[in-house]
Amino acid sequence: MNAPPPTLESLWRCLDGICPSTIATCSADGIPNVSLISQVKYVDARHVALSRQFFNKTTRNVLENPQALLVFWDPVTLQNHRVRLKYVRSESEGPLFEDMATRIDVIASHTGMTGVFRLLAADVFEVLSIETLAEFLEPPPPDAGPEILPPVAGVPTAARSELWALQRLIARIRQASELDELLRTVLQTLAEDLGFDHGIVLVADESQERLVTLASHGYDGGGVGSEIALGEGLIGTVAERKRILRFAPLGSALRYGRAVRDSLQAAGGTLHAEIPLPGLSNAQSQLAIPLLARDRLLGVMAFESTRPHAFEDWHEAFLSVLADQFASALAHVLERDEGEAPPAPRAASRERPQPSGPRHAAASKPGAGPRTAHAFRLYKNDDCVFVDGEYLIRNVPARILWRVLTSYTQDHRTEFTNRELRLDPTLGLPPIRDNLESRLLLLRRRLELKCPSVRLVGRGRGRFALEIDGKVELEERQSA
């Protein structure tokens, strides 16, 4: 008995663009044409859309003669699928267009072609028939080893289900009471259950123009504090468009972008510099999900892998559900402590740091670890702080650090409240949704990385303490 013809849904792997797909068309005067396709998008069970960045021969042909043949290769089995198509319409706005444009915009952003290389239209085709070319492959040799790539998840498929993983994640999200715990829980559980070994969470600043990395998994703590502008690269584009985006194969997409870039430059175009990919230098797939509270952008959760098949269709659906729960919890944690907290005593510490002068203060904590002196320097014009000659942090978290260190060296204070920070106009915190918790967490993480002798330690809701081993010296400069 012959196997039933494949459905469009069953070809989901082919739509990732890992193997080159082609479309054959024919002009009204009978000249055939075959072109490689950069992006094929599933629209519904009977329709696909092809991205069009330039008005090309394929477009001219289907406007004259709507018949087309799409040929897919399955990137895992290498089966050859032939999809008969009929051109229906072109869309240059709406959800389908926006979805496809986002992907093109990411390539454009990374290859310095923002605004130059863009989607002109999503050309929609009706699927008339699908056929798998049975004779395309020889049978495997009898002693052949496995040719199928290993499964994605770190936990064996038999030992889990998607619903089980989702339930476990949501339960853990509900239990997490602190921001740090929440972020760690989500990234770690996704690594355990889905094999997402490299993940980061970024939060938006109050201007909603930049994202800063607050937590990472799989990078040995690296990347925390790194910033991305909205609209820049994959993550910035996901944030700006507020759309989930799965991107693979990255190498091929960037090569495609570079081919266009070379062509544009040869034609005399002036382009921006390429933006390097964040994280893994050899990443082959990325997945980024916006974290939204209603329609407000809280941040972005992003994952990457060196494998081109790492993220599948169902991951998008799974993470969309998860992202709603995560964003809701994130909003709650970020905003819940905006209420009252009792003021901290002006000089709560028994230790008496030793100030060394009005401009260059030094302080030490007797008997607390090695007496290393750390030199903190504030560059006022750049709004950033360096420690021991190395960049530490900038903007609001830098101002918070400077305020805390100054209070320590001048007034010998070690206990602080979130409330007093909110009331301090010099810090520049917005009156509502100030993201203070995320800024403090970022500051903690950066200190752990760059200067572990200086720590911000939680003292219950709305309170924290400054712990310092050794001495600190403060210096303010206008500019570097």
Partner 1 sequence: MRVPPRDNPPITEEVTELIATGVDMYIATRNAALVPESMVAMGVKVHEAGCSLTAYLPEALSGPTLANLRDNGQVAITLSRPRDHRTVQIKGTFVSVRRSTEGEKELQAVFRAALVEQFAGVCGIPRSLTRRIVWWPSLAVEVTVHAVYDQTPGPNAGEPLARAHS
- Contact status: 145 vs partner 1 (CB under 8 A): yes
Which of residues 29 and 390 has its CB atom nearest to partner 1 in the complex? 29
- Contact status: 282 vs partner 1 (CB under 8 A): no
- For the record, the structure tokens of 309 come out as 């098949």
Which of residues 177 and 265 has its CB atom nearest to partner 1 in the complex? 265
Please report where in the chains the tokens 């069953």 appear, as a residue: 10
Which of residues 113 and 292 has its CB atom nearest to partner 1 in the complex? 113
Q: Which of 108, 100, 97, 128 is nearest to 37 (CA)?
A: 100
- For the record, the structure tokens of 18 come out as 């890992």
Could you give the CA distance from residue 470 to residue 459 in angstroms, rounded to a whole number? Answer: 21
Could you give the CA distance from residue 404 to residue 410 in angstroms, rounded to a whole number? Answer: 10
- Contact status: 237 vs partner 1 (CB under 8 A): no
Could you give the CA distance from residue 342 to residue 9 in angstroms, rounded to a whole number? Answer: 58
- Contact status: 18 vs partner 1 (CB under 8 A): yes
Residues contacting residue 154 through CB under 8 Å, at least 6 positions apart? 191, 192, 193, 194, 195, 197
Q: Which residue in 267, 273, 432, 480 binds partner 1 (CB under 8 A)?
A: 267
- Compute the radius of gyration of the chain from its Cα atoms: 27
Q: Which stretch binds partner 1 (CB under 8 A): 141-149, 229-237, 324-332, 390-398?
A: 141-149
- Contact status: 111 vs partner 1 (CB under 8 A): no
Could you give the CA distance from residue 104 to residue 8 in angstroms, rounded to a whole number? Answer: 23
- Contact status: 53 vs partner 1 (CB under 8 A): yes
DSSP 354: -
Q: Which residue in 90, 185, 252, 410 binds partner 1 (CB under 8 A)?
A: 252
Residue 284 and residue 248 in contact, taking contact as beta carbons nearer than 8 Å: yes
Q: Please state the closest distance from residue 74 (CB atom) to partner 1, in A.
A: 10
Q: Please state the closest distance from residue 118 (CB atom) to partner 1, in A.
A: 12
Under rule CB under 8 A, how many of the chain's residues touch partner 1?
56
Q: Which residue in 7, 9, 22, 457 binds partner 1 (CB under 8 A)?
A: 22
- Contact status: 321 vs partner 1 (CB under 8 A): no
Q: Which of 265, 328, 317 is nearest to 291 (CA)?
A: 328
Q: Which residue in 136, 171, 314, 457 binds partner 1 (CB under 8 A)?
A: 136
Q: Which stretch binds partner 1 (CB under 8 A): 32-40, 322-330, 331-339, 380-388?
A: 32-40
Could you give the CA distance from residue 166 to residue 235 in angstroms, rounded to a whole number? Answer: 23
Residue 297 and residue 242 in contact, taking contact as beta carbons nearer than 8 Å: yes
Q: Please state the closest distance from residue 278 (CB atom) to partner 1, in A.
A: 21
Range 170-189, binding partner 1 (CB under 8 A): none
The count of other CB atoms within 10 Å of the CB of residue 222 is 13
Could you give the CA distance from residue 26 to residue 13 in angstroms, rounded to a whole number? Answer: 27
Could you give the CA distance from residue 389 to residue 445 in angstroms, rounded to a whole number? Answer: 18
- Contact status: 57 vs partner 1 (CB under 8 A): yes
- Contact status: 38 vs partner 1 (CB under 8 A): yes
| Kind of pairing between the strands at 471-477 and 373-379 | parallel
- Contact status: 15 vs partner 1 (CB under 8 A): no
Could you give the CA distance from residue 409 to residue 422 in angstroms, rounded to a whole number? Answer: 21
Q: Which stretch binds partner 1 (CB under 8 A): 33-41, 177-185, 214-222, 322-330?
A: 33-41
Residue 366 and residue 393 in contact, taking contact as beta carbons nearer than 8 Å: no
Q: Which stretch binds partner 1 (CB under 8 A): 129-137, 165-173, 187-195, 199-207?
A: 129-137
- Contact status: 26 vs partner 1 (CB under 8 A): yes
Q: Which residue in 5, 9, 32, 296 binds partner 1 (CB under 8 A)?
A: 32
Q: Which of 274, 233, 270 is nearest to 255 (CA)?
A: 274
- Contact status: 270 vs partner 1 (CB under 8 A): no
Q: Please state the closest distance from residue 244 (CB atom) to partner 1, in A.
A: 24
- For the record, the structure tokens of 258 come out as 């570079």
Which of residues 63 and 362 has its CB atom nearest to partner 1 in the complex? 63
Which of residues 213 and 285 has its CB atom nearest to partner 1 in the complex? 285
Range 385-444, binding partner 1 (CB under 8 A): none
- Contact status: 132 vs partner 1 (CB under 8 A): no
Q: Which stretch binds partner 1 (CB under 8 A): 4-12, 60-68, 271-279, 420-428?
A: 60-68
Residue type at 457?
A: V
- Contact status: 135 vs partner 1 (CB under 8 A): yes
Could you give the CA distance from residue 453 to residue 472 in angstroms, rounded to a whole number? Answer: 10
- Contact status: 65 vs partner 1 (CB under 8 A): yes
Determine whether 410 is exposed, middle or buried from the number of CB atoms within 10 Å of its CB (0-12, 13-18, 19+). Answer: middle
CA-to-CA separations, 476 to 240, 312, 380, 386, in angstroms, rounded? 36, 51, 7, 10
Q: Which residue in 138, 220, 295, 390 binds partner 1 (CB under 8 A)?
A: 138
Residues in touch with partner 1 (CB under 8 A): 18-20, 22, 24-26, 28, 30-36, 38, 53-54, 56-57, 65, 67-69, 71, 75, 77-78, 80, 133, 135-140, 144-145, 147, 149, 249, 251-252, 255-256, 258-260, 262-264, 266-267, 284, 307-308
